[in-house]
Structure 1
């Protein structure tokens, strides 16, 4: 039997129409969207399937919407007899960590939707518009990225590693002036180039502290159970099933680095041969191939995917 992990994408994977074919094909998937709509008191599914893209791109909508698609895909797969606990691990990229926890029974879908709505609003409100920025460093290794951040911080302002996604793809986050300065100095530390990202706030850096405070309050009010299979957490790149630790790491995650490359390397070191990406798109599948040569990846986002993944895992 192939040893595998379920992984869940983060922001940027959304598109209008995502999850509609799953809802049409599987009553179990439809139920997830109904549950999210009820929890939010909003027809989020209508926005996802036939709304305006700029509305879906609002962080407060994107986060619960992507979680809904991921969990709906998992429920569809479960209807074929494949249970979450058949996987050795679950892991998610940033907001995808909430999808992983909802799929593995640690957090209810309704709580995940409500908490992600709070998270989206809090992250948006943490820094006034135009004061923060993010940039992707192309061809950078972690040491070069650290050197670049130190260079920018010496000039004043916040410049921190937000995401270590895969070899050669690191994202920095912080104050607009510091990130722009860093982007102009990539050559000084041997990095090919930096690309400014079209984001509305500087995610996963210390400027997000007000959002972390908001999440501390929001998460205090929800029940977190042990997931049915261990979660490899963003901030530690290590597995946990402890509810208290999960709660703490979800708060740390708001200002902390998403250690995705290390998470994938850890899972591969534990014998994972196949990553199944549940939800919209295939961003993680592409990144993981750069991280671990020869690793297998499948997407789980359409009814056809559900059939082929179920066949592969049966």
Structure 2
């Protein structure tokens, strides 16, 4: 069994998609459609930067999705891939869940781009710059991360945002609480705590205004039924019913990204081969979660050709 998986924020870089666009009409059409849907030349920012413009949450989120879907469209158009014949599940890390839903046909490409633009803006606006922060805990498990979060909170928000893999858990919350968590990490048996260069405290209760905005947006642009089950971040379980999918996407804004558990659940369901489209982030995480699982990251035309030779 096989799952196609999609990266989240942090996988963007200037030049992303340039080689695909130069080599494939299918990729160029994806970038043009996203530009038109957003009413901005996002593809130029992806291609040329500047980096600070691409890193803006409202640009990074649709850009990462566009890159992933461009890779998929090249696989479909030029490689003859039929997703429903070559995959059993799809999943994505945070914003990558929208990419997964787009790939599975629950959202159109244009609607996915617009929803992610709204999501990026809402998440950025939810907390004034400087009031929130995030940190990565290296060598932490869920129990030690939870203990640290509770010790550091002191009446402020300090919550587990991402359970990425056995070596990395991410905390999110008020800046003071995250600073305290970094200082207390070693006392809780955690090897290292690193402040993350983010502009807002994602996936914690401080994001409630953004969750409310996404409830409105998804009410106006609801998902359809996906052609494949989508493993949801907040439940680490497959979802196929449109109303449930919309509700889970709203919960995801403030909820924990249960990526480690999602991968283990897909493995339990029989998945042996994971294919990451448009990044090299979740593939390596999968390798750390289960060394027996096979994970390929597909970004270039050479990657696409190699994958199609293998799976046909």
TM-score (norm 1): 0.97
Counterpart CA distance in 2 for 1:312 and 1:91 is 21
1:119 counterpart residue number:
119
Q: Using the TM superposition, give the Cα deviation of residue 294 of structure 1 relative to its aligned residue in structure 2, in angstroms.
A: 2.0
Counterpart CA distance in 1 for 2:137 and 2:222 is 38
2:64 counterpart residue number:
66
* SS of residue paired to 1:297: strand
Q: Using the TM superposition, give the Cα deviation of residue 51 of structure 1 relative to its aligned residue in structure 2, in angstroms.
A: 2.3
Structure 1 segments of 4+ aligned residues over 4 angstroms from their partners? none
* SS of residue paired to 2:63: helix
* SS of residue paired to 2:137: strand
Counterpart CA distance in 1 for 2:61 and 2:306 is 27
Counterpart CA distance in 1 for 2:296 and 2:188 is 36
Alignment of 1:60-209 (within 5 A): 60-79=58-77, 80-85=79-84, 86-153=86-153, 155-209=154-208
Counterpart CA distance in 2 for 1:23 and 1:264 is 31
Is 1:11 equivalent to 2:13 in the alignment?
no
CA displacement 1:153-182 (0-9 Å, x = unmatched)? 2x2210000000000200000001111111
2:305 counterpart residue number:
307
* Matched residue count: 310
Q: Using the TM superposition, give the Cα deviation of residue 283 of structure 1 relative to its aligned residue in structure 2, in angstroms.
A: 1.0
Q: Using the TM superposition, give the Cα deviation of residue 29 of structure 1 relative to its aligned residue in structure 2, in angstroms.
A: 1.5
Q: Using the TM superposition, give the Cα deviation of residue 73 of structure 1 relative to its aligned residue in structure 2, in angstroms.
A: 0.4
Counterpart CA distance in 1 for 2:23 and 2:296 is 20
* SS of residue paired to 2:135: strand
Query: What is the Cα-based RMSD across aligned positions, in Å?
Result: 0.9
2:281 counterpart residue number:
283
Q: Using the TM superposition, give the Cα deviation of residue 308 of structure 1 relative to its aligned residue in structure 2, in angstroms.
A: 0.8
CA displacement 1:31-75 (0-9 Å, x = unmatched)? 111110000011111111112111100000000000000001001
Counterpart CA distance in 2 for 1:226 and 1:24 is 33
Unpaired stretches in structure 2, ≥5 consecutive residues: none
TM-score (norm 2): 0.98
Counterpart CA distance in 2 for 1:205 and 1:57 is 20
CA displacement 1:265-295 (0-9 Å, x = unmatched)? 011111211110001x311111111101121
Q: Using the TM superposition, give the Cα deviation of residue 146 of structure 1 relative to its aligned residue in structure 2, in angstroms.
A: 0.9
2:228 counterpart residue number:
229
Unpaired stretches in structure 1, ≥5 consecutive residues: none
Alignment of 1:233-244 (within 5 A): 233-244=232-243
Q: Using the TM superposition, give the Cα deviation of residue 123 of structure 1 relative to its aligned residue in structure 2, in angstroms.
A: 0.5
Conserved? CA contact 2:158–2:172, under 8 Å: yes
Q: Using the TM superposition, give the Cα deviation of residue 24 of structure 1 relative to its aligned residue in structure 2, in angstroms.
A: 2.0
